[in-house]
C-alpha cells in the first residue's frame, strides 16, 4: 500500500516516527456549479486524504449514472451535496487500506456504499467503516454497483403498498427502466402479473421482446393504449390493484385507467417532467389512492440495516440468474461519452455504468 507518510516529532529529546496513512490521489468527476451535467462536470485529480483510525480507503470499481445523479448536478434534486461536489451516489469497490482501529474489513474485500451517498464517481473514496457493506465476491461488480437504488426501489414498491397475492396484477409505465425491469421479475417470482407501458420510440418492438423475455405478461406502447377502454385488452390478466408511475403526463393517466376500483398508484419518478392529471371521478367513484415513494427517505428512516439485508437478498437472486437488467459498462476515461448516453443524447440506451 503506497499510503504511508512519515512525520517525525521530537518528544522529550527522543525522535519518534509516526505514520499517517494517506489515500492515493483520486481522479474524480467534479462540479462547482449546478447546471447541464455535460457542461458543468470535469474530471480532476484530488490530493491524497488522511485515512483516520476508523476509515476505510476503497478503490472504486464501478458506479452507475442514475437519473437522480443527473438531477443532483442540475440542482433540481431536493437533497444535494454542498458545492463543490463529486458526482455519483452508489457504487462498489475493493478495500485498498484500512485505519488502525478497523476490524472486519481488510484490503481486497469487495464493498458497496451503503447507504448510497454523494461522491461515488472517483477512483478512491475514504469513509468511515460503518459506511461500507461487504458483499459476496461471486457477484458481478456491475450488478453490485447498481443493486441498491433501483432494484431495492422495485422490491419495496412491489411489497409495501398493496397486499398483493399470487395471481394479482401490477400496471407500470417506464417499464424499460432498470426499476421497471426489476418490477417485472420480482413480481413474476411471486406469481404476480405485470402490464407494462413503454413510450413510442425507435426500437420499441425489441424493447417489448426483451421485457416479455424477463416475464412481462403484457407490454404496450402509449399509442397502442389510445383506445376507448384499455381494460378490454386485459384478456386473462386481472385488473391491477397497484400501479407504478415514473413518467407522469399521459403515461400516468394510462396507469390510472388500468387500475381496479380502490387501486393505488405509487409515483416514484417524473421522467417526462409532465404533471399528473387525475379526473374527479377517479377519486369519487373509483376511489383510487395516489401515493409516492422515495428510497432515500425510506432508508434514512431507520432502515439502513434492513436495506443491507434486502440488497444481499437481491444479490442472491442476481447470482441465481433470477434478476437481470440491461447494463453498458464504460471506462472512466470515457465518462463524458457515457454521460451523453445517460442524458438521452443518442436515444434510448441501457443503464450506463462507469468502470474505474
Ligand atoms: N423515488 C425513488 O426513490 C427512486 C429510486 C430509483 C429510481 N427512481 C426513479 O425511477 C425512474 C427510473 O430510474 P432508472 O434508473 O430505473 O431508469 P433508467 O434505467 O435510467 O431508464 C430511464 C427510463 O426513463 C425513460 N425515459 C427517459 N426519458 C423519458 C422521457 N422524456 N419520457 C418518458 N420516459 C423517459 C426511459 O425510456 P426508454 O427506454 O424509452 O428510453 C427508461 O425507461 C427515474 O425517474 C428515477 O429517478 C426513483
Give the domain-ending residue among 294, 312, 339. Answer: 294
Residue 114 sits in the same domain as residue 245: no
294 CB burial (10 A radius; 0-12, 13-18, 19+): middle
Looking up residue 220, the CATH number of its domain turns out to be 3.40.50.720
Residue 166 sits in the same domain as residue 137: no
Write the pLDDT tens digit of every residue in 10-49: 334 444 455 799 999 999 999 999 999 999 999 999 999 9
77 is catalytic: yes
Ligand 1 and 153: CB distance under 6 A: yes
Residue 132 sits in the same domain as residue 157: no
Give the domain-ending residue among 275, 294, 313. Answer: 294
Q: Is position 316 within any domain?
A: no
Is the confidence at residue 309, as pLDDT, over 80? Answer: yes
Write the pLDDT tens digit of every residue in 68-108: 999 999 999 999 999 999 999 999 999 999 999 999 999 99
Q: Is position 342 within any domain?
A: yes
Residue 95 sits in the same domain as residue 163: no
Cβ-contact 46, 23 below 8 angstroms: no
Give the side-chain half-sphere CA count within 13 A for 299: 19
Residue 206 sits in the same domain as residue 235: yes
pLDDT band at 231 (very low <50, low <70, confident <90, very high): very high
Q: Is position 313 within any domain?
A: no
Ligand 1 and 246: CB distance under 6 A: yes
Residue 143 sits in the same domain as residue 167: no
Point out which residues pair with 171 in neighbouring strands: 195, 243
How far apart are the CA of 271 and the centre of ligand 1, in A? 6
Q: Is position 314 within any domain?
A: no
Rounded distance between C-alpha atoms, residue 266 and residue 83, angstroms: 32
Residue 77 sits in the same domain as residue 130: yes
Ligand 1 and 68: CB distance under 6 A: yes
Point out which residues pair with 291 in neighbouring strands: 266
Query: Helix (H, G, I), strand (E, B), or coil: what is residue 202?
Result: coil
Rounded distance between C-alpha atoms, residue 201 and residue 208, angstroms: 11
pLDDT score recorded for residue 18 = 59
Q: What is the grid cell recorded at 248?
A: 407522469
Residue 200 sits in the same domain as residue 234: yes
Ligand 1 and 208: CB distance under 6 A: no
Q: Where are the alpha helices (DSSP H) in 6-66?
A: 37-40
Q: What's this model's pTM, rounded to 2 decimal places? A: 0.95
Write the pLDDT tens digit of every residue in 163-180: 999 999 999 999 999 999
Write the pLDDT tens digit of every residue in 177-215: 999 999 999 999 999 999 999 999 999 999 999 999 999
Give the domain extent around 261.
150-294
Average of per-residue pLDDT values in the chain: 94
Tell which one of 246, 314, 326 to mutate to probe ligand 1, the residue whose CB is within 8 A of the most ligand atoms. 246
Residue 141 sits in the same domain as residue 199: no
pLDDT score recorded for residue 19 = 74
Is the confidence at residue 9, as pLDDT, over 50? Answer: no
Is the confidence at residue 5, as pLDDT, over 70? Answer: no
- Which ligand 1 atom sits nearest the alpha carbon of residue 325? 19
Query: Helix (H, G, I), strand (E, B), or coil: what is residue 68?
Result: helix
Amino acid at each position: 500500500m503506497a499510503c504511508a507518510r512519515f512525520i517525525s516529532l521530537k518528544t522529550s529529546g527522543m525522535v519518534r516516527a509516526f505514520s499517517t496513512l494517506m489515500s492515493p490521489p483520486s481522479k474524480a468527476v467534479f462540479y462547482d456549479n449546478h447546471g447541464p451535467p455535460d457542461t458543468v462536470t470535469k474530471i480532476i485529480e484530488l490530493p491524497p486524504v488522511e485515512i483516520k483510525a476508523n476509515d476505510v480507503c476503497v478503490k472504486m470499481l464501478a458506479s452507475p449514472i442514475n437519473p437522480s445523479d443527473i438531477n443532483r448536478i442540475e440542482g433540481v434534486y431536493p437533497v444535494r451535496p454542498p458545492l463543490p461536489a463529486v458526482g455519483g451516489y452508489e457504487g462498489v469497490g475493493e478495500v485498498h487500506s484500512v485505519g488502525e482501529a478497523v476490524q472486519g474489513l481488510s484490503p481486497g474485500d469487495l464493498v458497496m456504499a451503503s447507504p448510497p451517498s454523494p461522491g461515488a464517481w472517483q477512483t478512491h473514496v475514504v469513509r468511515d467503516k460503518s459506511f461500507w457493506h461487504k458483499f459476496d465476491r461471486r457477484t458481478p461488480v456491475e450488478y453490485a454497483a447498481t443493486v441498491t437504488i433501483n432494484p431495492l426501489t422495485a422490491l419495496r414498491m412491489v411489497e409495501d403498498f398493496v397486499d398483493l397475492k399470487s395471481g394479482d396484477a401490477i400496471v407500470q409505465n417506464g417499464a424499460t427502466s432498470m426499476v421497471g425491469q426489476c418490477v417485472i421479475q420480482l413480481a413474476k417470482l411471486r406469481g404476480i402479473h405485470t402490464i407494462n407501458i413503454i413510450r413510442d420510440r425507435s426500437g420499441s418492438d425489441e424493447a417489448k421482446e426483451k421485457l416479455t423475455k424477463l416475464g412481462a405478461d403484457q407490454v404496450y406502447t402509449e399509442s397502442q393504449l389510445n383506445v376507448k377502454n384499455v381494460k378490454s385488452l386485459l384478456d386473462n390478466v386481472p385488473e391491477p390493484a397497484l400501479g407504478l408511475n415514473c413518467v407522469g403526463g399521459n403515461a400516468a393517466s394510462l396507469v390510472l385507467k388500468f387500475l381496479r376500483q380502490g387501486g393505488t398508484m405509487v409515483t416514484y419518478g417524473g421522467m417526462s417532467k409532465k404533471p399528473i392529471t387525475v379526473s374527479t371521478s377517479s377519486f369519487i367513484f373509483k376511489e383510487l389512492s395516489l401515493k409516492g415513494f422515495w428510497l432515500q427517505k425510506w432508508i434514512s428512516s431507520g432502515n439502513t440495516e434492513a436495506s443491507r439485508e434486502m440488497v444481499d437478498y437481491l444479490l442472491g437472486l442476481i447470482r441465481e440468474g433470477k434478476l437481470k437488467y440491461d447494463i453498458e459498462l464504460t471506462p472512466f476515461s470515457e465518462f463524458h461519452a457515457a454521460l451523453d448516453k445517460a442524458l438521452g443524447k443518442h436515444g434510448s440506451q441501457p443503464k450506463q455504468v462507469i468502470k474505474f
